[in-house]
Amino acid sequence: MPVHKSENTFDHKSPELEHFLVEGLHCPSCIREIEGALQKNPIIKNARLNLTTQRLAVEWSGDSPDAIANSNEVIGTLKDLGFKGYLFKDDPSAAEDDKEGRWLLICMGIAGFAMMNIMLLSVSDWAGTDMGDNTRSFFHWISALIALPASAIAGLPFYKSAWGALKARSLNMDVPISLAVILSLLMSIMQSLNHGADTYYDAAVMLLFFLLIGRFLDRKMRNHARATAHNLMSYRPSTATVVNQDGETESRTIELLNTDMVVRVAPGERIPVDGVIILGTSEVDSSLVTGETIPVKSTIEDKVFAGTMNVSGALDIKVTALSGKTLLDEIIGLMETAEQGRAKYVRLADKAAQIYAPAVHLLALITFLGWMIFSTVGWEQSLITAIAVLIITCPCALGLAVPVVQIVASSRLFKNGILVKAPDGLERLAEIDTIAFDKTGTLTLGQPEIANGDNIEPATLALAASLAKTSTHPLCRALIVACHERDIPTIATTSPLHEEPGMGLKATIDDKEVRLGNRDWCHVSMDIQKNTRYSELWLKVEGKEAVFLAFQDRMRKDAAQVVAWFQNKGFDILLLSGDRPDVVADVANKLGIADYLGAAKPQDKIDRLEELKAEGKKILMVGDGLNDAPALSASYVSISPSTAADVSQNAADFIFQSQDLESIVRAWQVSHISRKLVFTNFALAAIYNVIAVPFAAAGFLTPLIAAIAMSSSSILVTGNALRLNLVKLFSSQDEK
């Protein structure tokens, strides 16, 4: 029987379908406005807009096959309505950071090339040789031909920033930089026109070159991963297999599903919606939502969530939440809210800029007025002296104080298997006083191991492994590992074997039925107390009592040492986990953690962190699952292992690649030392200004000498930062 599709649905794989990203959405009324306007267009058969993902799905009518013209018309309609739209595949946000970084690198290259050439022309003037006025003037004009276009291009990052600040009636560090460069060039042009002896083209270009180095280093630290929401959505399939009332199936886009529809999910597929199972039994890997790595048996009337994985049997699921209202969407919203809270953090360099920029302008103005009022040198020499003050106080050393330490610290951490993602992550990590650990995948490895293996006969383990070797179930894999660790041979059974999804395996061995699976599958008496502490398998040999196989999450080998090390340092430690409360309590007791919370949903974790933040705590969150991502964003600073879900890595400020938690200790030590070096760099920059500014204001320094002095201060700051490579890091096993 042919499949008849509803007029309100369309096939995601159809060539007549296109997806757009829409910027500027605020509320459901925006959706109604856009969908209403597009539905009036005869070339559009259907349109559906998702507020959370900002994706617009448009199906073209068969009468208008020109996809390019159609896309342009949709984008034009969005523009007329006050929204910005572009094709999903043309999303420019991914390349935006790289584009700006390449532009800074080009500007730095232009400034460096120009500086070297102008300095060569200036050597003859510095050497003190007899040079005629015409020759000197000729060299000056050649320098101008190099400096003016180079400064116009290389200085654009500073000019744009300064102009933006001035339009907003504020000052930033780029305002004095731009003034120094522009005034130096103007004075140099006047000197060239008047055949003066001194010009300052080399000073202006040198200033830009060194400042661009600092700007480029800082930009390198700002290259974050893609937007978190887009990565979150990768866990949801774009289509779902819908079961119609006549039993036929068809593929439909997630955006156009309705509640009470039934979708079918095959083994190995991600569940596309929140819903309730109405047919089938399977095991569902909910680790992205709960953090629990061991699949949970799910059957009729059990709830399942979008993004989780169907491990074994086929399921028919009744949709209970539409796209945009699922648990996955709720987590996206929690993350966006948490990120907005973190954005309130003000970096050290920004704090310094709030005071430094106005002070520089005031100092240069006082110098100019002082020379004009109390001397007879005239306005030109007074302006040159003020320019020297602007250059000598240009925040090159101050601008490098933070990024150069970050680069050195990031390199040191990288050698220890730790990746730094956030530009201000080191600053925040040095200020923490509380550490919140997730359990599964963080304090533990997220890998089940047998808990009672030493109490089971090797022959019994070998028999269980002979069945388990044919299965990909995590507990079966753990059983094989347990045998290998005990040097017990594992040979798959040659007897015919049957696997019942969500139940277990069975085979006939030596004329006896052998079963491996859950207690129902192995006919375990209900009189035996149900285990809640461990994940379990049962081995049942016909005519014998069933054997209980208990499994627990494998603890990281240094978890206890690391927790104890931080506790000895005076940090408050807490454990937040989505795992069962009794399991969480057991792990907390083993590690000596008094503050713990089990069965915690993403909102529960955020609520607990907010309580601590209200008490003035600065929290480091260590987690790895999708359910940890909002908490990672809500915390003061965050770390994830490299085995974490992509979304958690995206939300975290640091990623550690080692199997050991020792990486967290090293990250904190490096951040603590880095903070001291940053303050030392600020002190060096301040001392440099205290010494150099009076000389510049007194007229003893030309703009060129000021530029050289400014560059020397930058070298001093860089050298101080390199001391980080010489500092010894202690491990959690050291008494110190």
Tell me how far apart the alpha carbons of residues 197 and 129 are, in angstroms, rounded to a whole number: 13
Domain 1-91 has CATH 1.20.210.10: no
Residues 6 or more apart whose CB falls under 8 angstroms from that of 113 comprise 150
**Cα-based torsion angle of the residue sequence 320, 321, 322, 324 in order, rounded to the nearest 10 degrees:** -170
228/567: higher pLDDT: 567
Of 631, 629, 626, give the one whose Cα is nearest residue 611: 631
By the 8 A CB rule, do 277 and 316 touch?
Answer: yes
Query: Percent of the chain having pLDDT more than 90?
Result: 12
Give 273's DSSP letter. S
Residues 6 or more apart whose CB falls under 8 angstroms from that of 570 comprise 433
Which of 218, 329, 438, 653 is an active site residue? 438
**CATH number, span 237-325:** 2.70.150.10
- pLDDT at position 5, please? 34
User: What mean pLDDT do residues 351-372 have?
Assistant: 71
By the 8 A CB rule, do 650 and 370 touch?
Answer: no
**Is position 63 annotated as part of the catalytic site?**
no
Question: Positive or negative, the Cα torsion across 499, 504, 505, 506?
Answer: negative
Residues 6 or more apart whose CB falls under 8 angstroms from that of 410 comprise 221, 420
pLDDT tens, 308-328?
888 878 899 999 887 667 766
The per-residue DSSP string of 432-454 comes to: --EEEE-IIIIIEEEEEEESSGG
Tell me how far apart the alpha carbons of residues 447 and 607 are, in angstroms, rounded to a whole number: 28
Sheet of strand 535-541: strand arrangement = 444-450, 547-555, 535-541, 512-517, 504-509, 497-500
Tell me how far apart the alpha carbons of residues 53 and 55 are, in angstroms, rounded to a whole number: 5
Highest mean pLDDT among 15-29, 328-342, 614-628, 677-691: 614-628
Q: What's the token pair of residue 66?
A: 């020109």
- pLDDT at position 64, please? 52
E-assigned strands of 354-437?
A: 418-420, 434-437
- pLDDT score of 480 more than 80: yes
3-state helix, strand, coil split of the chain in percent (to 5) is 50, 20, 30
Return the CA Rg of the chain.
Answer: 33
User: What mean pLDDT do residues 554-566 have?
Assistant: 89
Highest mean pLDDT among 67-71, 377-381, 481-485: 481-485
Tell me how far apart the alpha carbons of residues 707 and 203 are, in angstroms, rounded to a whole number: 5
Buried b or exposed e, range 37-58, using 16+ CB within 10 angstroms: bbeebebbbbbbbbbbbbbbbb
- pLDDT at position 497, please? 85
Per-residue CA distances from 652 to 46, 195, 626 (Å)? 39, 59, 11
pLDDT band at 49 (very low <50, low <70, confident <90, very high): confident
- pLDDT at position 442, please? 84
- pLDDT score of 245 more than 80: yes
- pLDDT score of 485 more than 80: yes
Q: Is 200 exposed, middle or buried (0-12, 13-18, 19+ CB in 10 A)?
A: buried
Residue 199: strand, helix, or coil: coil
Highest mean pLDDT among 50-59, 175-184, 564-573: 564-573
- pLDDT at position 246, please? 85
Around Cβ 595, how many Cβ atoms within 10 Å?
Answer: 14
472/108: higher pLDDT: 108
Look at the block and give the residue holding tokens 């992550």.
425
- pLDDT at position 209, please? 84
- pLDDT at position 310, please? 86
Q: Considering only 403-407, 432-436, 501-505, 590-594, which range has the smallest mean pLDDT?
A: 403-407
By the 8 A CB rule, do 98 and 223 touch?
Answer: yes
User: What mean pLDDT do residues 598-615 have?
Assistant: 88
- pLDDT at position 528, please? 66
Of 300, 273, 271, 295, give the one whose Cα is nearest residue 284: 295
**CATH number, span 446-554:** 3.40.1110.10
User: What mean pLDDT do residues 292-308 have?
Assistant: 79
User: What mean pLDDT do residues 419-440 have?
Assistant: 84
Question: Positive or negative, the Cα torsion across 183, 185, 188, 189?
Answer: negative
Tell me how far apart the alpha carbons of residues 700 and 694 are, in angstroms, rounded to a whole number: 9
- pLDDT score of 273 more than 80: yes
Rama region for 676: left / alpha / beta (φ>0; ψ in -120 to 50; rest): alpha
Tell me how far apart the alpha carbons of residues 16 and 487 are, in angstroms, rounded to a whole number: 59
Q: Which residue ranges make up each domain of the chain?
A: 1-91, 102-225+346-397, 237-325, 446-554
User: What mean pLDDT do residues 339-355 have?
Assistant: 50
Query: What is the pTM for the complete model shown?
Result: 0.56
- pLDDT at position 91, please? 42
Look at the block and give the residue holding tokens 């984008």.
75
Tell me how far apart the alpha carbons of residues 222 and 192 are, in angstroms, rounded to a whole number: 41
pLDDT band at 615 (very low <50, low <70, confident <90, very high): very high
- pLDDT score of 361 more than 80: no
511/528: higher pLDDT: 511
CA angle 140-144-149, nearest 5°? 170
Buried b or exposed e, range 447-486, using 16+ CB within 10 angstroms: bbbbbebeebeeeebebbbbbbbebebbbbebbbbbbeee
Query: Percent of the chain having pLDDT more than 70?
Result: 74
Per-residue CA distances from 601 to 435, 575, 587 (Å)? 18, 13, 18
- pLDDT score of 718 more than 60: yes
pLDDT tens, 671-700?
889 888 888 877 877 787 778 778 777 777
Q: How high is the mean pLDDT of the chain? A: 77
Look at the block and give the residue holding tokens 């993602």.
421
Provide the residue type at 588 as one letter.
A
579/111: higher pLDDT: 111
pLDDT tens, 216-244?
765 664 443 334 444 445 566 777 889 98
